[in-house]
Structure 1
Amino acid sequence: MTTLPRDAPDLAGEAWRLMFDFLMRSAPQRLEAQQRHELTPNDSRALFLLDAEGKPIGALAREWGCDPSTATWLVDRLERSGLAERIPSPGDRRVKLVRATEKGAATKNDLQAAYRQPPPELTSLPAGDLDALVRILGKLRAG
């Protein structure tokens, strides 16, 4: 019995499902890193979008895909943990900017290092497979 060649959308769908399933299976590794810092996944995501210059709550809400009251709640949580702070805007003292503190920046670095540790399933692949995977994923990054 001959099989018909699959078309690109079918292959892309299968590739995405496999990548997504792998990311979901490896989520406990990322969650463990977050829990070491007493962060939730949403706290972590919010922290990663803060920088040293600061952004108004409204801009953060748009980036985070939530309403301003939810952004305020997230900022309050990060601020209580010492990871973020509110500062006056240099252009308008009525506006408060939210930025990562030194502790917040250090926490982001620690989380990033933990997130970038490859899961065992990945490190056990043969070098040729890893070369192919790096090449393919590099194309997606450039794309």
Structure 2
Amino acid sequence: MNTDPDSLTIGAFAKAAGVNVETIRFYQLKGLLPTPDRPYGSIRRYGSADVARVKFVKAAQRLGFSLDEIGQLLKLEDGTHCSEAAELAALRLDDVRTKLSDLRRIEAALSTLVAECHAHQGNVSCPLIAALHC
């Protein structure tokens, strides 16, 4: 078996990148990862740069970037477009802050309803169920 990190089969590539083969194919379909040429009578080979690219995509996904946004980041990958990358990150940060605010509001509402449920005893209407009927 060829263990050269710049001559990986798709299976070895997927394993090295920590994803499954379907993820590799999906990223290729989305344009996030190039599909290497297939030499006549041979199979496609991937390299360490491909592994690094998939790890970049996965790291960006963990930060909440969409695949479209990741595609934009990959176009800025040469490092000379830091302000443009920062703009994308600022938009993502605003979105995260909005979601956190929504989650805090949901937490407060649920906390109140759970407390009301514990305060009611017997055959009275459940405050949680009543609130959901509104």
TM-score using structure 2 length: 0.28
Task: Work out which of the two has the higher radius of gyration on C-alpha atoms and give 1 or 2.
Answer: 2
TM-score of the superposed pair, with normalisation by structure 1: 0.27
